[in-house]
Amino acid sequence: MSFVRHHEKRAPGFEFHRPYPGEQLIHFEHLRKAFGAKRVYDDLELDVRAGETLVVLGGSGTGKSVLLRCLIGLQRPDAGRVLFQGADVTAFTEEQFMEVRRHVAMVFQGAALFDSLSVGENVAYPLLEHFPDMPPDEVRQRVAQKLELVSLPGTEHLMPADLSGGMKKRVGLARAIATDPEVILWDEPTTGLDPVTTQSINAMINSMKTKLGCTSIVVTHDLVSAFEVGDRMAMLADRRIVQVGTPDAFRRSTVPEVRAFLDARRAELVADGGTR
């Protein structure tokens, strides 16, 4: 397995400190965002606590994934702030975001693997980007360790074209956790997967909390997954967060937007024969 090194200068201006469990880690404050005439957020507010798995629910096109992208600098809000450990990342330069991305990793909806790189090279990529002076032997050791953690040992030589959808998701997770991030962002992790693979992905999300002690934000419209992995849930509708609470609070919710979403998803499950 060969690696190409990417020499990046360490960005100044942000220093991470390990938070206490339950401490406010991320705060989306008065966010506004539009794409042309389409308004996505109007004064959106949301907190994320250290050590929890927060599920963000909402229908297609409500802007769930945009929240994740604003946190790591792939998109910028039009107004408001995104605070990570009190630092306003919306004002960060691309160089400063490099430091944030050492601590916040994203598992993209389609895994987003580099097709021309092997599994091992995909997992090694963030290590080479963030730690350009890491010895090759340590890179290989870390890659093997992360693949073992997602139940794909010895797959370094495979290419993305050789992998099933579920395996690609696992490699995407291995790449995301290569730098030992404190926060993992999951963008629609179970979309397009069969029920058995979906269950394995849910188990992986839960295992990352127990094995790594990390914080997770899971964006999904998959109701079954949401209730299986979420410590708290937030409902995005009408360009704002309409409810935040425990799964039990959501089951008992009388908020009209939440009830409409839950009822619609349950009807879909019945129509599908209850397989999801």
Determine the Cα–Cα distance for residues 233 and 237; give it in Å rounded to an integer.
13
Question: Domain segments of the chain: what residues?
Answer: 52-62+91-271
Q: Is the pLDDT of residue 274 over 60?
A: no
Q: Which pLDDT band, with edges at 50, 70 and 90, does 270 fall under?
A: low
- Specify the pLDDT at position 273: 63
Rounded Cα gap, residues 40 and 250, in angstroms: 23
* Average pLDDT for 14-30: 83
Q: Determine the 3-state secondary structure of 80 from DSSP.
A: strand
Please provide the average confidence, as pLDDT, over all residues in the chain: 86
216-245: pLDDT as tens digits: 999 998 888 999 999 999 999 999 999 999
Sign of the C-alpha dihedral computed for residues 246, 219, 211 and 204 taken in this order: positive
> Average pLDDT of 8-12?
42
Specify the long-range contacts of residues 32-36, CB closer than 8 Å, at least 24 apart. Answer: 32/77, 32/78, 32/79, 32/80, 33/63, 33/66, 33/70, 33/75, 33/77, 33/78, 34/78
- Please give the structure tokens belonging to residue 71: 């946190």
pLDDT digit string (tens) for 247-260? 999 999 999 999 99
- pLDDT band for position 99 (cuts 50, 70, 90): confident
User: φ and ψ at 127, to 5 degrees?
Assistant: -65, -45
Question: How far are the Cα atoms of 62, 69, 71, 90, 254 from residue 76, in angstroms, in the given order?
Answer: 16, 8, 8, 7, 33
Please state, in angstroms and rounded to a whole number, the distance separating the CA atoms of residues 38 and 127.
Answer: 38
The answer to whether domain 52-62+91-271 has CATH 3.40.50.300 is yes
pLDDT-derived band at 5, boundaries 50, 70, 90: very low
Mean pLDDT of 134-152: 92
3-class secondary structure per residue, 24-65: EEEEEEEEEEEECCEEEEEEEEEEEECCCEEEEECCCCCCHH
270: burial class by Cβ within 10 Å (0-12, 13-18, 19+)?
Answer: exposed
